[in-house]
Each structure stands twice: as C-alpha cells, then as structure tokens.
Amino acid sequence: MASQQYLLKLISRVHHISYLSITCISLVRVHIE
C-alpha cells in the first residue's frame, strides 16, 4: 500500500511540474507575440 501512495505522490508532482511548464511556455509565447 505504501508503494501505491508513493506512486500517487509522484504522479501529482509530475502533473504539477508539467502544468507549471505549460504556463511558462504560454507566458513566453505571449511576450514573443
């Protein structure tokens, strides 16, 4: 059960990082245009 909780934490962390990167890319695109 501990491994399952670790997986959930890892997935949520990766999702958060990808969301941040998408937001940064969007901001950069707006500045370029």
pLDDT 10s digits, 1-33: 689 999 999 999 999 999 999 999 999 999 887
Map tokens 């940064």 to a residue. 24
Structure tokens belonging to residue 5: 């909780």
- pLDDT for res 32: 83
Cα 20–Cα 25–Cα 29 angle in degrees, nearest 5: 150
Task: Output DSSP code: residue 12.
Answer: H
pLDDT of residue 33: 76
